[in-house]
Amino acid sequence: MLTDAILRQAAGEAGLAEPAIIVRRLGGLGQSDATLTKDRPLYPASMIKTPLAVAVLELIATGILSPHARIPVTESNMTANDLASPLVPGYQARLTELLDLMTPNRTTSQRTP
């Protein structure tokens, strides 16, 4: 069973100084299984990247979207980052470029054509 202590140890081993982590069982009744710094505000930008990337890759695989489609970057879809963003409002980003920025650990063999 996952506990707060296990989360704290894992965060420390990963070099995370003060993470806010909440783990909930899917289909649960809203109670947390384990938490770390649960009162710290959570910004959802990074948490949504994986399901969005999966949805985009599915749309590419089914031919609904082109991996070469250009997506306009606007001020309203810029988010706060811990590092400077390579994107600026007005830029027309390729869909594959956005996927690479969302999931930087993808290897070249996993990238869409």
Q: Convert the pLDDT of each residue in 51-81 to its tens digit.
A: 888 999 999 999 999 999 999 999 988 877 6
Helix, strand, coil shares, percent, the chain, to 5: 35, 10, 55
Rounded Cα distance between 80 and 46, Å, is 11
pLDDT at 106 over 70: no
Domain ranges of the chain: 4-36, 45-104
Q: What is the mean pLDDT of residues 34-56?
A: 77
Least confident of 4-13, 33-42, 68-77: 33-42
Amino acid at 24: R
Q: How many CA atoms lie within 13 A of 16 on its CB side?
A: 12
Mean of the per-residue pLDDT values for the chain? 79
CA distances to 2, 23, 52, 96 from 40, in Å? 20, 14, 24, 33
